[in-house]
C-alpha cells in the first residue's frame, strides 16, 4: 500500500528534527531504519514493511 502525502511528510518531519548523530544512526542500515520506523510510526511501518528497503533508499537520497 502506498503512503499518503501526509504520512511521507510525517516521516520526513521526524527525521528532519533529529540531530545529525541520531539521523546517521537511523539511516545507517535498512534494519536500523526499520527498527526506528517500527518504534516511532508503527502504523506507517505496517504499510511499508514489505518494501522497507526501497523506502530506506528513497529517504537516504533525501538526506
pLDDT band with cut points at 50, 70 and 90 for residue 1: low
pLDDT at res. 41: 97
Short-list 27, 29, 46, CA closest to 38: 46
CB 27 within 8 Å of CB 63: yes
CB 41 within 8 Å of CB 59: no
Mean of all residue pLDDT scores within the chain: 95
- Spatial distance between the Cα atoms of 59 and 13, rounded to a whole number of angstroms: 12
Could you tell me the maximum CA-CA distance found in the chain, to the nearest angstrom? 31
pLDDT band with cut points at 50, 70 and 90 for residue 2: confident
pTM: 0.90
Domain boundaries along the sequence of the chain: 8-62
Amino acid at each position: 500500500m502506498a503512503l499518503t502525502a501526509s504520512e511521507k511528510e510525517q516521516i520526513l518531519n521526524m527525521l528532519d528534527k533529529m540531530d545529525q548523530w541520531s539521523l546517521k544512526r537511523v539511516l545507517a542500515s535498512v534494519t536500523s531504519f526499520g527498527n526506528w520506523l517500527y518504534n516511532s510510526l508503527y502504523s506507517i511501518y505496517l504499510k511499508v514493511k514489505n518494501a522497507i528497503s526501497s523506502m530506506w533508499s528513497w529517504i537516504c537520497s533525501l538526506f
